[in-house]
Amino acid sequence: MVFSSTSFLYYFLPIVLAVYFLVPFRYKNTILFFSSLFFYFYGEPVYSILMVLSCTSGYLHGIWIEQAKGGRYAKIPLISSIVFSIGPLIFFKYADFLIVNANWVLNSNIPLLRIALPIGISFYTFQIMSYTIDVYRGEAEVQRKLGNFTMYVSFFPQLIAGPIVRYTTIEREIQNRKHSFENFAYGVRRFVCGLSKKVFLANTLGELASLLQNTQAKSILSYWIVAIAFPLQVYFDFSGYSDMAIGLGRMFGFRFLENFNYPFISRSITEFWRRWHISLGTWFRDYVYIPMGGNRVSMAKWIVNIVVVWFLTGFWHGAEWNFVLWGLYFSLLLVLEKLVLKSLLDRMPGILARMLTLFFILISFVLFNADGVGESLESFKGMFGLLNIPYSNLHTLYYLKSYRVILIISVIAATPLFSKLIGRLKGFKISGIVISVLEPLVQVLLLLLITAYLVDGSFNPFIYFRF
């Protein structure tokens, strides 16, 4: 089940909300757990067992880690928890990748397993690992109620596509959270905003990118349009989903941290990764980069740390070499930025620094978008005129003209321009009153338009399901 579906919007969510607010507080976590279990079971009936077993493993390891603290073998339960958490992820996500590469190196013919990837396994695995590591470090209190812990991991707003919500972020709210009309109203606004980004912007940009990628009448311009449309699609798809997760969490009394902060306005690659997929970036920072020594080591060791972290970041996204190269590409940029480019970017006018950074980001998403390294090389050749194709053609111009409005809106919406404008208008008395009256009406209208779009059965993929 996905948020952008009529079954979720008009059946699942209203029923869960009604039951949740009708029962006493002591039963609310139980309602959320069983609702989340049904939500996951609806899309992954078999792998629901795996998710529950992973939760149970994390819960038991947390207790074991707490009991072993200060002892001679205190690290054993921590190591065990990491093995039991990451083992299923490696098996389901990377087994065939490892077999393919083993066959290539050894010239063997080991058959592929062809196992379907459980939805959300990359996200809930990292949540469980962050919990057990934080318990070991003494940064989180062990959760002794299995129901509360399984609710935390399986909570449906963030279960299948993040953000990666750490236990310490909502630790107090699991036991004691407050519900209010203001929180609920904010949650609804945030959810509708995210749903609109997903349905109107991400889906439409995805249509454009798909049409131009699959056409035989390609041109240099068509490759560049895809290079621009695809990163915007991923941004509105994933940030929209994060908005919906944050909004749903707030409806139920939880405050999730932000996951995106207008990354395409960044003046550097370092800044981009402080703004893009924040929960993943901070996870690797706190649980891999800093324990390896971070930047408080020699230059050579620091470069190794950067390469390892970004290799893992790329590999987390997918079991293909283009994802590994995508991560290593960012490691190279970050090292160059630290050693050479930072001083240059700092001296540049802001607009030039942003344009240069954006160019490197667009190049990275060509790698990210490709179905393997070969396809990414083909795209680079097409972008830079090495495929003996025209600069443009009637086919490309037709689609550019047809989608020009959505491209312009998407580019502007990827900046804080709209939010700053609304914020300023709210500061004036009359315009503030008008906005407060129109806002709920606009939300209802958007929801009706979204419903019509979904009922029509239009293009409605979700990119991060494959992670």
CB 43 within 8 A of CB 1: yes
Q: Mark out the alpha helices in 254-298 (DSSP H runs).
A: 269-275, 278-284
If you ran DSSP here, which 8-state letter would residue 10 be given?
Answer: I
10 Å CB burial of residue 180 (0-12, 13-18, 19+) is: exposed
- CA proximity to 263, closest of 345, 147, 188, 365: 365
Helix (H) or strand (E) holding 294: none
For the chain, the C-alpha Rg in angstroms (whole number) is 23
Phi-psi domain of 145 (left: phi exceeds 0; alpha: psi -120 through 50; beta: other):
beta
Torsion of CA 136, 150, 178, 248, to 10 degrees: 120
Task: Kindly name the residue from 61, 179, 277, 317 that is annotated as catalytic.
Answer: 317
SS3 219: coil
CB 161 within 8 A of CB 241: yes
| Six token digits for residue 271 | 């800044």
Between CA 165 and CA 148 the distance in angstroms is 15
Between CA 11 and CA 31 the distance in angstroms is 16
CB 151 within 8 A of CB 29: yes
Between CA 124 and CA 43 the distance in angstroms is 16
* 61 counts as catalytic: no
DSSP letters spanning 50-107? HHHHHHHHHHHHHHHHHHHTTSTTTHHHHHHHHHHHHHHHHHHHHHHHHHHHHHHHHT
CB 228 within 8 A of CB 362: yes
The residues assigned a catalytic role are 317
